[in-house]
Structure 1
Amino acid sequence: MFAFPSTSDAVRPTIRLLKTLVIVIFAGMNAQSQTFDERFEDWPVDLKIKGVIVAIHSETIPDHVLESSLPDSISKSILVLTNRDQDEVSSEFQNTQSRPTAPKVESISLIESQQESTYFQKWDTLVWSESRTPDEIPPPLMKRFEQLARAHIDRGKNLVIAGPHAKALSKFYIRSLEEGHPRIAAGMNLFPDVVLETNCPKSREGNPHVLSVLASQPRCVGIALERNSAVVLRGRKLRVLGSGEATLMVQANRFHPIRLHTITSESSGANSPNRYLADLTEWRRDAMDRTLPLFPPTSPGLPVVEKGTLLIVGGGGLPTGLMDQFCELAGGPENANLVYIPCEEREDVAEEQSIIENWKKRGFKNATLIHTKDRNKANEDEAFLAPLKKATGIWFGGGRQWNLADSYYGTTAQRLMKEVLHRGGVIGGSSAGASIQARYLARATPIENFNIMAPGYERGGLGFLDGVAIDQHFTQRSRQRDMTHLVNRYPQLLGIGIDETTAITVTGSKATVSGKGKVYFYDRRQPVYPDRPDYIALASGESYDLAARKTINSEMPKTKNE
């Protein structure tokens, strides 16, 4: 008996066609051919200081402060600038004299500090012990000390500020309170982008006076240091000495509440680095980020690579043939210009790298390594940028992905990387070199890497692929719950988890899996059921449409009986 098709059966093919057309049109509107809209000024240029700075409110320096913050290896001579009795000051350093290699200690008055700058260069540690507040110290003397201190730190040496004037190390400090409201002044900015308040009462709720200053200086980080404590900045890491704590804070905006975090002395028994360490650059980035438009946006661009190819590897080795694919896509031995970018926190790396040697053994003549921790160099140095201008293939190494964000986000180098794809080239990377390829940067906490969402670094991806968050070493390090947490918070993003020795090759919006493991796609546009996985897992040879968020059906080989 003939039966007319139901309305739903009749229109279903039409609906599918319309959905496909909408996706294609929307992709054309949102896939903006490697748009470069990241800004250099939205990332700190001075990522770390070269030496060590110790700040303590008391003008008398407890023995443990010098012993713990200035190891023997870097403090063989100490010069003390003071307006106090010099014999009294010298007695405070008796404990340092008990070291196996006791440092040389001298003290001079503030007036004597006016001698030639070369006199200060021979000292490992410069101490300014002072009983006055910053406003009580003559401005010319403050300026003179700032010059000495900055030069001392730039030489990689140590600086100790002991007294009420210690808070002037920060970018802004509280001069006084008028009817409960803080009056602020510009400091030396040796603690970059910080508002430091010392001698604070115990509180983990955030210092209200510091928060008041942050309301007018939202790109700064507040630090409230308790009594009987010192704060130490070494490179970019903050730690506390003494019996008290330090509370870091950034101001709220209309998207995020006030962020607070308290660190205590490592000797207090804190067993997690996050309890006794803070990364100042991460906090500065978070403060900056809160002055920018919301990220990730509620409607990110579609994950489409209009030109070129991305090779995204989950770490732990490459799938068989993947490097062959990279080399071929880059143009082959005669035509390719290959660039390797390691992921390192160190200022310098060895020129001899195994991947460069591998390329040369394959017959590639033009294979170059570039590396810098100097953002100005990555933005302006023509010699550094030259290999990127002609590159046909770029490979990012593994490590901790925040290093790549620190070096290249918003720089000319990042723009030139995107132009490699625009010219039809290839970009690949493994582990950190996988995550960095997305616009959203997953798992970028500088202290440990257990948190998949890192305030301040989420905006730090190099942006070759929009609308996704990429994690690696996925099954091997049991990171499924982390990705669930991320996409629950940011359902607008497509989560991608890649196993070790596994990769996706992305052209257009198509991601094809290769390797030993699987790739997991988390799409919160689809319903989640408590008795089912909240992801789609694909194995080698299978493909996924990143823009349409669906698997791409491939024809299965027919059996002999078919």
Structure 2
Amino acid sequence: MQPFFFFFGRRLTIGPLIIIGGNEDKTHEGAILQRVVQLTQASSRQPILGVVTTASREGQAAFSQYQKIFTELGLKEVLGLTVDSRREASRAERVYAIRRCAMLFFSGGDQLRITSVLGGTLFHHVLLEEHRRGLAVAGTSAGASMMSDTMIVMGEGEKAPTKNTVQMAPGMGLWVGAVIDQHFSQRGRIGRLLSALAQNPGILGVGLDEDTAIEVRLAEHRLRVWGSRTVTLLDGSSVDETNASESRADRPLAITGVRLHVLPQGYDFDLNERLPGSLRDPRED
């Protein structure tokens, strides 16, 4: 049975998440941004996309780039939601623009800027509320990492997992029970995702390659892979041993019983059973 919410007597389903590993194909051939547009246009809400550039120190330039891309891909209205301070994130006239949108798209940059500026503000509360009411949320690079309730802030790539390999902080809480890393294969980040898993057994570690995304349907307990490369899923639900609590900060971590899946475009993954589905054409949905 799918989870749902009632809002003034109406049955509401949680909106989808489009979580992108960064450096997505921005041409007309790119499957990921086409999917963002498709979901925006198919929504029961107004077909408006809002671009949130809080992660970037050059927010206006980031907005202009994505406004041009999404307009060329067929959207008629693309809003700029440039929120650079906690004071601005609590201004009602700025925040309630979220309610006009079918999709919010978080650009890349620094995920800690997103959580430190937006976390706990009116913007954050309205974002979570509207997501429960069907708002779709997409994010690339830093905008991907912030989706989970616990996020990777920084860490060393291409290193064996230790406590020092990764630093973590609270995320925006759109997806509970996962930790997301981006630019995954390109920057050799499996060590830092394993470090996060060793210190948080039971979570689902998600490593997204560049130009690769997952479409997460929390109401249906599944995700679908999009893009030209792969997603690496590290399932910590079957971990039977880790020395994270005893190990010194600079010593290698032990973790046993991790299940690993590598999935390209077209594959599903069941979030309840923690099992991949068969290959299919994602455009069928």
Per the normalisation by structure 2, the TM-score is: 0.76
- Shift of the alpha carbon at 1:500? 0.9
Match of 1:314 among 3, 6, 21: 21
Match of 1:356 among 67, 72, 81: 67
Aligned pairs (5 A) from 1:115-154: none
Aligned counterpart, 2:227: 515
Aligned counterpart, 1:440: 150
- Shift of the alpha carbon at 1:449? 6.4
Paired residue type of 1:313: I
Match of 1:407 among 105, 117, 129: 117
Give yes or no for the alignment of 1:423 onto 2:133.
yes
Q: Distance in 1 between matches of 2:203 and 2:270?
A: 14
* Contact kept? 1:484, 1:534, Cα under 8 Å: no
* Contact kept? 1:351, 1:369, Cα under 8 Å: no
Q: Larger relative contact order (C-alpha < 8 A, sep ≥ 6)?
A: 2
Q: Distance in 1 between matches of 2:74 and 2:277?
A: 36
Q: Secondary structure at the match of 1:463?
A: coil
Bigger radius of gyration, 1 or 2? 1
Aligned counterpart, 2:36: 326
* Contact kept? 1:497, 1:521, Cα under 8 Å: yes
Aligned pairs (5 A) from 1:53-68: none
Give yes or no for the alignment of 1:481 onto 2:191.
yes
Paired residue type of 2:17: L
Aligned pairs (5 A) from 1:141-180: none
Paired residue type of 2:234: Y
Q: Secondary structure at the match of 2:87?
A: helix
Match of 1:502 among 208, 212, 218: 212
**Alignment deviations for residues 13-64 of structure 1 (CA, whole Å, 9 cap, x no partner):** xxxxxxxxxxx6xx85xxx86xxxxxxxxxxxxxxxxxxxxxxxxxxxxxxx
Q: Distance in 1 between matches of 2:13 and 2:40?
A: 16
**Alignment deviations for residues 213-258 of structure 1 (CA, whole Å, 9 cap, x no partner):** xxxxxxxxxxxxxxxxxxxxxxxxxxxxxxxxxxxxxxxxxxxxxx
| CA RMSD of superposed structures (Å) | 3.2
Aligned counterpart, 1:367: 78
Q: Distance in 2 between matches of 1:347 and 1:499?
A: 24
Q: Distance in 2 between matches of 1:311 and 1:399?
A: 17
* Contact kept? 1:373, 1:406, Cα under 8 Å: no
Paired residue type of 1:382: A
Q: Secondary structure at the match of 1:466?
A: coil
Q: Secondary structure at the match of 2:173?
A: coil
Give yes or no for the alignment of 1:536 onto 2:247.
no
Aligned counterpart, 1:492: 202
Aligned pairs (5 A) from 1:87-486: 306-318=13-25, 320-331=30-41, 335-344=46-55, 346=57, 349-350=60-61, 353-379=64-90, 381-442=91-152, 444-445=153-154, 453-454=166-167, 458-459=169-170, 461-486=171-196
* Contact kept? 1:330, 1:425, Cα under 8 Å: no
* Contact kept? 1:337, 1:393, Cα under 8 Å: yes
Q: Distance in 2 between matches of 1:476 and 1:350?
A: 25
Q: Secondary structure at the match of 2:266?
A: coil
Q: Distance in 2 between matches of 1:452 and 1:354?
A: 33
- Shift of the alpha carbon at 1:396? 0.6
Q: Distance in 2 between matches of 1:352 and 1:412?
A: 22
- Shift of the alpha carbon at 1:511? 0.9
Paired residue type of 1:340: V
Give yes or no for the alignment of 1:547 onto 2:272.
yes
Q: Distance in 1 between matches of 2:46 and 2:256?
A: 52
* Percent identity of paired positions between Structure 1 and Structure 2: 24
Structure 1 residue ranges without an equivalent (≥5): 1-23, 34-304, 557-562
* Contact kept? 1:452, 1:483, Cα under 8 Å: no
* Contact kept? 2:239, 2:258, Cα under 8 Å: no
Aligned counterpart, 1:86: none
Aligned residue pair count: 250
**Alignment deviations for residues 456-501 of structure 1 (CA, whole Å, 9 cap, x no partner):** xx11x11111100000111111111111111111102111111111
Q: Secondary structure at the match of 2:188?
A: coil
- Shift of the alpha carbon at 1:312? 0.8
Cα 1:486–1:306 shift into 2, 3 Å: farther
- Shift of the alpha carbon at 1:358? 2.0
Q: Distance in 2 between matches of 1:555 and 1:405?
A: 36
* Contact kept? 1:392, 1:420, Cα under 8 Å: no
Q: Distance in 2 between matches of 1:424 and 1:512?
A: 18
Cα 1:351–1:546 shift into 2, 3 Å: closer
- Shift of the alpha carbon at 1:534? 4.8
Paired residue type of 1:520: T
Cα 1:452–1:396 shift into 2, 3 Å: farther
Q: Secondary structure at the match of 1:331?
A: helix
